[in-house]
Structures are given as C-alpha cells and as structure tokens.
Structure 1
Amino acid sequence: MQQRTSLITLGARDVPALALFYDALGWARTPSPEGVVAYDLIGQTLGLYPLDKLAEDIGVPVAELGHGASTLGHNVRQKPEVAEILTRAQEAGARLLKPAQDVFWGGHHGYFADPEGHIWEIAYNPFSPLRADGAFRWLGYEAE
C-alpha cells in the first residue's frame, strides 16, 4: 500500500446542506453519482456521502461510526490566512472551536467544526512550506 490518501469521505446526515457549506467556502463540486457530492482537492478528493448509506456499505450500525478523534488539516502559506479562513468558515455556518493563535512549536492555527461536526484545523507551519501547487508534505518540499 502506498503512503497516500486518495479519498476522504465524510458521512453526512444531510448531504445537500453540508454541500452548501463547502460551496460557501468557495470549493467547486466535481461531477458525481446522484446522492454523492465530491470536491477534487490537490491530489485527493473529499466526498460527502449519506451517513446511513456509509454505515450500510461498511456493514456497521450508524451509531458505531460516531465521531472519531480525528481532524482534517488545511495548511496555508501565510499566517494571516488562518484567521481569514476561520472567518469565512464561520460566515458559511461553521462553529469556531479555537480562534487563530500561535502554537508552542512555532506555527499558528485554529479549529472549526463544519455544520455536522467534522473538525478542521487551519494551520500555518513555517517549517512545512507548501509546494507551488499547494501540495503539503510534513517537512515541506525541497527545490524540485
């Protein structure tokens, strides 16, 4: 198995409403089957899929899916972008969990939850600069 994530699927109680939130962030949908909303990202796709159908597909009760202790991370190029994105997310309907602030390790970040509770970290990490196309790697990219 290669070290990559191809598709991130969020189980949604209300796919159309959650899709409107991501649309309000400025994301563009990509064509997908009825009942599924997909957004192509840099190197992967974020999919919104009905929670009950996701549980059925996996073969577990919906209650077993719960909300795991995980976050989705979005890194930015400049420190001020963290607060800008957190504000845009709030305007789109997100709940602010942690405002933009400096972090002990030298970065700057904040957290929000989308309308269904999926948690996003927006971060500026001066030690992991993004590639020109926005791709992220833990220790950044050397000149390629």
Structure 2
Amino acid sequence: MDPRISFITLAVADLDASRTFYVDGLGWPAALDVPGEVLMIQVGEHLVLSLWAAPEFEAEVGPIMRGPGIVPVSLAHNVPIHDEVDEVLATARTAGADPVSEPFEREWGGYSGYFGDPDGYRWEIAYNPGPIGQVVLP
C-alpha cells in the first residue's frame, strides 16, 4: 500500500454553514457539491477535503461520538512565508472562524496559530522552515 491520503472526510452539523465558511468565506472552489449530503473540495494535487452532512456520514461509517470538548483531530495548512500565517488567520477569522489561538514563534523554529471551523475542527496555519515543512508545500 502506498503511503498516501486521498480524502480527509469530516462529519459536519450544518453543511450549508460549512459551504458558507469554506467556499464563500475562504474562497475554496467546490469540486463536488450535493446539497444536503456532501461538499468536496480539492485541497491538493491528489487530496480532497470531503465535508459530509452528519446523518449521511453516520449512515455510511457508523455513529459519531458526541459530547463536550473538541474532536480529536486537527488539520494543518502550511505556508511558505512566515507573514502568510497572519494573513491566512485573518482571512479565516473574517469568514467567521473561531480564533482559537494567536500565532507565535514555536520552539521547533516555526510560527503557527489555530482557528476553528463552524463545527469546531481545528486548523493549524503554520510556517515550518524545516525539511518536513518543505515536503508539504506545492
């Protein structure tokens, strides 16, 4: 099996709110949009972010764990320039993101901060000047 991820699928409580945030707010174009079911956005050459309405998600993969706290997953968007972290976080906040944390200089030499989408999924916006950070940039 190749070491590869093809889809990142997130169950969302309100697909319309997710569409407004990702497509209208962040400006990411929809690759597939089935109202009431799923919104797919190509986020890399071979990677798709799939946002499923929670009932559709549960029908296919099983019950969703519910309760207090955040979901135990985070997503990262790396940028090639330090100051771009601030720009991307500002765009997300303008689109309605929860400003989880302000960016700061990390002990590993990078700079990053977090925002939450309408369902609370945490996105890290990061500048990582190290070798692994360069691997993920186009």
TM above 0.5: yes
Q: Does 1:129 align with 2:134?
A: yes
The gaps in structure 1 that reach 5 residues or longer are: 136-144
Cα separation, 1, equivalents of 2:71 and 2:118 = 16
Indicate the residue corresponding to 1:81 in structure 2. 84
Cα separation, 2, equivalents of 1:70 and 1:91 = 23
Q: Of Structure 1 and Structure 2, which has the larger fraction of its residues in strand?
A: 2
- Among 55, 70, 73, the residue aligned to 2:73: 70
User: Size of the alignment, in residue pairs?
Assistant: 131
Cα separation, 2, equivalents of 1:92 and 1:32 = 20
Cα separation, 1, equivalents of 2:120 and 2:99 = 11
TM-score (norm 1): 0.83
TM-score (norm 2): 0.86
CA-to-partner distance for each residue in 1:66-91, whole Å, 9 max, x for gaps? 65321001000000010111111010
CA-to-partner distance for each residue in 1:5-35, whole Å, 9 max, x for gaps? 1011110111011111001111011134442
The root-mean-square deviation of aligned C-alpha atoms, in Å, is 1.7
1:59 deviates by: 2.5
Cα separation, 2, equivalents of 1:107 and 1:113 = 20
Cα separation, 2, equivalents of 1:82 and 1:121 = 9
Higher relative contact order (CA 8 A, sep 6+): 2
- Among 12, 34, 40, the residue aligned to 1:38: 40
Please tell me the residue identity of whatever aligns with 1:111. Answer: Y
Query: Would you say the 8 A contact 1:30–1:40 is kept in 2?
Result: yes
- % identical equivalent positions: 35
